[in-house]
Amino acid sequence: MLNSTTKEAVAHLLREEITSGKEVSLKVAQESMQPLINPGDRVVVKDCRAENLIPGDIILYEKEGTLYTHRFLYRRELSLLTKGDNALFLDTPFPKEQLLGKIITIKKKSRTINLRKRSWRIINSVLAILFLIEGLVLGIARKLKRGLFGHAKIQNDLEDRLILLCARTKLDKEIKNRIKRLLGRRLNWDYLLKKAEREGLSGLFYYNLKRFDEKIVPPSIMETLEERYFNITSRNLFFLKELGRVLKAFKEAGIPALVLKGTFLVEEIYKNPGLRSMSDIDLLVKRKDLLQAHEGLKGLGYTTTYNYLDYIEKPISGYLNSLFYYRKEKEASIPLHIHWHLVNSSVPNHMFSSRIDMDGIWEEAEKIKIADREALSLAPHHLIIYLSEHALRMKHSLDRLILLCDISEVIEKYQDRLDWKRIIKDSFMFNLDRMVYYNLYLVKKLLGRKIPSHILKRLEPERLGYFEKKFVSFISRNRRFPGLSYLLYLSLNRGPLAKGRFIFRTFFPPRQVMAQRNNISRKNLNSLHYLRHLREVLGPLPKLTHYL
């Protein structure tokens, strides 16, 4: 190993070579610039003054005899600010005299990347802005963490195990015995109430605790859970009644309607309106029927702030594919989403939305009777795929256990006729195989649902990218929060150009998408809406720091 004196001598000779006008080739040993520069790659360095650096340039500098290849972000009067792409926080600023040169070429085994090309200059500039914002936010969050989260983490292993055991509609003898043993222990009931609510499991928790001796559970806890259960029941029955009105109007107008998510799950899967809460009514219609559906809803007293005509002739969006309607009912408001595609997200999802065969979805849809009306539902294999994609949308990111419970209960419901081969085939065809794999894996690991091992083996990714590894690391440690799926979405975009476009479109969606998200017309859109959107995108970063 080289001692510090030898390192400094090597750095001095290297500086002389570069400043003489030569382009020097070096082999990279560090991982700090992954995934762009990996250990073993070679980089070509050219002389460059600090004043001529552009944010986003990848530079070579020397610090205490060690060479670093990092991304330049900002220049102060006497120092430079950098960050490794694979590092969480910004580097400590260093004197600009330590700069050796700028990387102009990256030589990999299979290809060569010319960083002087216009496309790479744009990508690097965008990355510099994002990394600077990220680094500043995380730096602040790290300081806040010491004050807000400095206390030791409270372990609630018993309580978490009890929640998992109650996250199901059927309890076999073994599960009942395990629950009974846990109920005999000293439990933190305040934590359990909050945990059940946060995980969307209050209804199921109450339903399963009622099966045991009431003396085991404190009366005040059961009263609170009972109140939540009946509140969920009341709201869901109200929604189901309204769903019946809408389906009746659509049938009379000759509009096929497919029931999605909450109302379908409550009526067909859980078979009890108190076991699963829902926030709105979701229906899928064919886009050619959108105008007719709009007129039918208008006749029922529904209004929308969207210009529905904007969506009739336009191609399927890689973002939002739904219109939001609502109707005032006394003091309550009934929210209703009309979808014309299964994927609906404010984050770009072209990597899989364009590959979903909507004609095939409609052809295989099954007839059901729901809310005393005839309607359609997704075929069981498509339902598993859809719920997996929905659970890993950015705003969810598996943040609630009820999302996994939904998938587990669907498997229980259709176990005798679930076509696993079709799940595999269509998952790969839709480019949603990774999402299906992670959900099925967690359903098996956390909820104990029996899933054929060869199915998981077939869906398991052969190779994980850097961002996907980070995603798996968080999920495996049960760190689930909205926004986490962004790491998985990044991995689904192959190559730096695709990732660069994805990041750019995340921060700057098309005007139509921004207008739709804010319920305004495009002409009323202004910079404040984009700033608000930026704040939403960066929102998960402090929590990300907390969990690292």
As a whole-number percent, the residues of the chain with pLDDT over 90 amount to 45
CATH topology for 230-547? Beta Polymerase; domain 2 (3.30.460)
Nearest to 89 by CA among 136, 20, 44, 48: 136
Q: In sequence order, which residues have a C-beta less than 8 Å from that of residue 240 and are 6 or more positions away?
A: 263, 266, 267, 273, 370, 371
Local structure of 12: helix, strand or coil: helix
Higher pLDDT, 155 or 227: 227
pTM above 0.75, yes or no: no
Give the C-alpha separation, 307 to 24, whole Å. 58
Strongest mean pLDDT among 91-100, 136-145, 266-275, 319-328: 266-275
Give the C-alpha separation, 240 to 524, whole Å. 36
Nearest to 182 by CA among 164, 168, 201: 164
- Please report, as a single letter, which amino acid is at residue 90: L
- Which pLDDT does position 542 carry in this prediction? 61
**Domain residue limits, the chain:** 4-148, 158-217, 230-547
Average pLDDT value for residue range 429-453: 93
By CB neighbour count within 10 A (0-12 exposed, 13-18 middle, 19+ buried), where does 135 fall? Answer: buried
Instruction: Please check whether residue 495 is in contact with residue 512, taking contact to mean a CB–CB distance below 8 angstroms.
Output: no
Give the C-alpha separation, 232 to 254, whole Å. 32
For 14, the token pair is: 């290297």
Give the C-alpha separation, 209 to 226, whole Å. 10
Nearest to 388 by CA among 378, 336, 524, 270: 378
The mean pLDDT value of the chain amounts to 86
- Which pLDDT does position 62 carry in this prediction? 83
Higher pLDDT, 343 or 518: 343
pLDDT at 277 over 60: yes
- Which pLDDT does position 150 carry in this prediction? 36
211-266 pLDDT, tens digit per residue, is 887 778 889 999 999 999 999 999 999 999 999 999 999 999 999 999 999 999 99
Query: Considering all CA atoms of the chain, what is the largest pairwise distance in Å, rounded to the nearest integer?
Result: 86
Peptide bond into 39 cis (omega under 30): no
The angle subtended at Cα 108 by Cα 102 and Cα 110, nearest 5°, is 145
Q: In sequence order, which residues have a C-beta less than 8 Å from that of residue 28 and are 6 or more positions away?
A: 37, 38, 39, 40, 41, 42, 43, 69
Determine which helix (DSSP H) or strand (DSSP E) holds 113, and give its type and residue range.
strand 112-114
Question: To which residue do tokens 């975009």 refer?
Answer: 493
Strongest mean pLDDT among 178-187, 478-487, 539-548: 178-187
pLDDT at 151 over 50: no
Peptide bond into 55 cis (omega under 30): no
Average pLDDT value for residue range 268-285: 94
Confidence bin at 442 (pLDDT 50/70/90): very high
- Which pLDDT does position 4 carry in this prediction? 45
Average pLDDT value for residue range 177-185: 92
For 130, the token pair is: 């994002």
Beta 258-260 vs 79-83: how paired, if at all?
unpaired
- Which pLDDT does position 148 carry in this prediction? 38
3-18 pLDDT, tens digit per residue, is 445 555 666 677 777 7
- Per 3-state DSSP, the chain is made up of helix, strand and coil in percentages (nearest 5) of 50, 15, 35
For 241, the token pair is: 């009644």
* End-to-end Cα, the chain, rounded Å: 32
Give the C-alpha separation, 504 to 538, whole Å. 13
Between 325-334, 365-374, 377-386, the lowest mean confidence (pLDDT) is in 325-334
Average pLDDT value for residue range 186-209: 94
As a whole-number percent, the residues of the chain with pLDDT over 70 amount to 90
294-306 pLDDT, tens digit per residue, is 999 999 999 887 7
Other beta carbons less than 10 A from residue 510's beta carbon: 14
Nearest to 203 by CA among 266, 145, 246, 268: 266
Nearest to 23 by CA among 43, 7, 40: 43
Give the C-alpha separation, 358 to 256, whole Å. 14
18-55 pLDDT, tens digit per residue, is 777 778 888 888 888 888 888 888 999 998 888 888 88
Cα torsion 175, 180, 183, 184 to 10°: value is -140
Give the C-alpha separation, 382 to 423, whole Å. 7
| 386: DSSP letter | H
Nearest to 114 by CA among 46, 29, 48, 27: 46
List strands edge to edge, sheet with 258-260. Answer: 322-329, 332-339, 281-284, 258-260, 373-377, 366-370
477-529 pLDDT, tens digit per residue, is 777 888 888 888 888 888 888 888 888 888 888 887 887 777 777 777 877 78
Q: In sequence order, which residues have a C-beta less than 8 Å from that of residue 347 and are 6 or more positions away?
A: 319, 393, 394, 486, 489, 506
Give the C-alpha separation, 513 to 525, whole Å. 11
Confidence bin at 457 (pLDDT 50/70/90): very high
What are 281's strand-pairing partners?
A: 336
- Tell me if domain 4-148 and domain 230-547 are identical in fold: no
The angle subtended at Cα 500 by Cα 499 and Cα 505, nearest 5°, is 100
Spell out a b/e string for 260-299, using b for 16 or more CB atoms within 10 Å of the CB, else e.
bbbbbbbbbbbebbbbbbbeebbbbbbbebbeebbebbee
Give the C-alpha separation, 30 to 43, whole Å. 12
- Which pLDDT does position 86 carry in this prediction? 81
Return the CA Rg of the chain. Answer: 27
For 102, the token pair is: 């700028």
Confidence bin at 409 (pLDDT 50/70/90): very high
CATH topology for 4-148? Umud Fragment, subunit A (2.10.109)
Local structure of 203: helix, strand or coil: helix
